[in-house]
Structure 1
Amino acid sequence: MFLSGIVPLVLLVVHSLEASPVEPLAPIIGGSNVEDKKVPYLVSITVNSFVCGGSIIADRWILTAAHCIKRNMVKNAAVRVETNNFTASGTLYRIDRAIAHEKYFRGAFRDDVGLLRLRSPLKFGERVKKIELLSQIVPYNATLTLVGRGYISKDHKTTKITQMIKAKNIALKLCRKMQPDFIYPGHLCTFVKKGKGTCG
């Protein structure tokens, strides 16, 4: 387990947050509860029970991780919005298309980017907004806000409420010294301090 918070650059707020049925990636450790309406762009993607997180980028499009996209997803999945609770309340939207990056290779976490298209457009408001995407590279040492599902104890007990933590963006060269595997160009590494951060 490491706390460098490796996430693809385009997925700054997208975390795969609990195993069901995909392998977990980057749950937040040592974070705090996010107030309701604080992150209106964050969604949970459910297939019976909670699976992954995503971000609203348009009224019918959700940005997520490619490893979250499974067979029969269009038939079985729904996107939950309007809540900071990953498993209850809010509004559910069905999807009609799931697209994984064509170069994604499962297990390597390269090109780990995916898109989901909703069957009907979202109704934007105070609790539902699209995220602003960066048009430039994140500078080293920048303070980032990471949001998603998190652990609330050392035995990996999770919370249903969205978690938030501040972290510094660090150079990939430094990141590779701490974690030599799975670090590729296009990734973004973060660091908080021992015992806090994200864990993959």
Structure 2
Amino acid sequence: MYFESLISLSIVVLLSAARIPGPEERIVGGYSMAIKDVPWQVTLLHNGHDCGGVILSERVILTAAQCLKGVNLKRYSVRAGSSHWSKGGQVVKVQKAIPHEQYNSQTDENDIAVLILASPLKFNSEVQKIDLADKSPKAGTKSLVSGWGHTKYDGQIVPTLNGVELFVVNHSDCKKAFGKIMITKDMICASAHGKDSCQFDSGGPLVSVSDRKLIGIVSHGIKCAFGYPGVYADVAYFQNWITNTIKQNI
């Protein structure tokens, strides 16, 4: 799930490239949303709501590699088409779960995974696929992130879907903000004052508002809305890996 990079600002000075792992999946400062406004959003169910995910086709879900840690595939399913993570919509079992083979749990590099469903989703106004961005987003791109995660750091999962609008941050500025913590070429950053994704939003979608294309997958950060951008897997960077993984497993 979403790994906490630091437990206090004082630790930043002591860190090298490594980060301190801990549970953190990160929506703060947002608002309630109807699933019909983000019909590509799903919840991944293991022990209750575990992570977010994104519909790419009737049988393919994109999520974060960290969401597969410790998962028992026999108990893993997806709920689509509901604003509530615990009821309604369509629930389908996960047949295959394929994390990126070079995922690094310490740095969160290559934090992306493909799920193949046991049976197809039925598309309607509340269940729809989303197109992938074919280029990394420019700094300043207005985006929307959604999920059922905490509304404050170390808070609680919310029963209904929330979303918040953010802006993509220049990659070099993001690297400066994080200092010695690695922000690698497969990551993008997004932020807005007092707004962020948070714990249990991991694997969920970051979508460009202008063209409604998927630009990122919620990955990690420092606490939530703590003065640092949120970090997302850059979907355009992984486009070939996503395409090839789907072809090989469906």
What TM-score does the superposition give when structure 2 sets the normalisation length? 0.66
SS at match of 2:119: coil
Supply the distance in 1 between the matched residues of 2:157 and 2:75 (Cα, whole angstroms). Answer: 24
Change (3 A) 1:63 1:36: closer
Checking the alignment, whether the CA contact within 8 Å between 2:138 and 2:170 is kept in structure 1 is no
User: Following superposition of structure 1 onto structure 2, how do residues 152-191 of structure 1 map, counting pairs within 5 Å?
Assistant: 152-153=151-152, 156-180=155-179, 181-191=181-191
Supply the distance in 1 between the matched residues of 2:152 and 2:63 (Cα, whole angstroms). Answer: 26
| Structure 2 residue aligned with 1:41 | 40
Amino acid at match of 1:174: D
| Structure 2 residue aligned with 1:51 | 50
Checking the alignment, whether the CA contact within 8 Å between 1:30 and 1:151 is kept in structure 2 is no
Amino acid at match of 2:186: G
- How far the C-alpha of 1:72 sits from its partner, in A, is 5.2
Checking the alignment, whether the CA contact within 8 Å between 1:34 and 1:162 is kept in structure 2 is yes
Return structure 1 stretches of 4+ with deviation > 4 angstroms: none
Checking the alignment, whether the CA contact within 8 Å between 2:35 and 2:41 is kept in structure 1 is no
| Structure 1 residue aligned with 2:24 | 24
Checking the alignment, whether the CA contact within 8 Å between 1:54 and 1:63 is kept in structure 2 is yes
- How far the C-alpha of 1:65 sits from its partner, in A, is 0.5
Checking the alignment, whether the CA contact within 8 Å between 1:98 and 1:116 is kept in structure 2 is yes
Supply the distance in 1 between the matched residues of 2:134 and 2:80 (Cα, whole angstroms). Answer: 25
Checking the alignment, whether the CA contact within 8 Å between 2:43 and 2:50 is kept in structure 1 is yes
| Structure 1 residue aligned with 2:90 | 91
Change (3 A) 1:114 1:155: closer
More helix, by proportion: 2
- How far the C-alpha of 1:35 sits from its partner, in A, is 1.9
Checking the alignment, whether the CA contact within 8 Å between 1:73 and 1:98 is kept in structure 2 is no
Matched positions, count: 179
Query: Unpaired segments of 5 or more residues in structure 2?
Result: 6-21, 199-220, 222-250
Supply the distance in 2 between the matched residues of 1:139 and 1:72 (Cα, whole angstroms). Answer: 35
SS at match of 1:28: coil
Change (3 A) 1:188 1:76: same
SS at match of 1:86: coil
For the aligned residues, what is the CA RMSD? 2.0
User: Following superposition of structure 1 onto structure 2, how do residues 91-110 of structure 1 map, counting pairs within 5 Å?
Assistant: 91-110=90-109
Checking the alignment, whether the CA contact within 8 Å between 2:146 and 2:197 is kept in structure 1 is no
| Structure 1 residue aligned with 2:211 | none
> Percent identity at matched positions?
29
SS at match of 1:141: coil
Amino acid at match of 1:77: Y
C-alpha distance after superposition, 1:58-84 (max 9, x if no partner): 110100000111355321101011101
Checking the alignment, whether the CA contact within 8 Å between 2:97 and 2:116 is kept in structure 1 is yes
Deviates more, 1:57-66 or 1:136-145: 136-145
Deviates more, 1:63-72 or 1:35-44: 63-72
| Structure 2 residue aligned with 1:144 | 143
Supply the distance in 2 between the matched residues of 1:72 and 1:192 (Cα, whole angstroms). Answer: 32
SS at match of 2:130: coil
Instruction: Return the structure number with greater relative CO, CA threshold 8 A, min gap 6.
Output: 1
Amino acid at match of 1:58: S
Change (3 A) 1:196 1:118: same
Supply the distance in 2 between the matched residues of 1:152 and 1:141 (Cα, whole angstroms). Answer: 24
Amino acid at match of 1:53: G
Checking the alignment, whether the CA contact within 8 Å between 2:45 and 2:77 is kept in structure 1 is yes
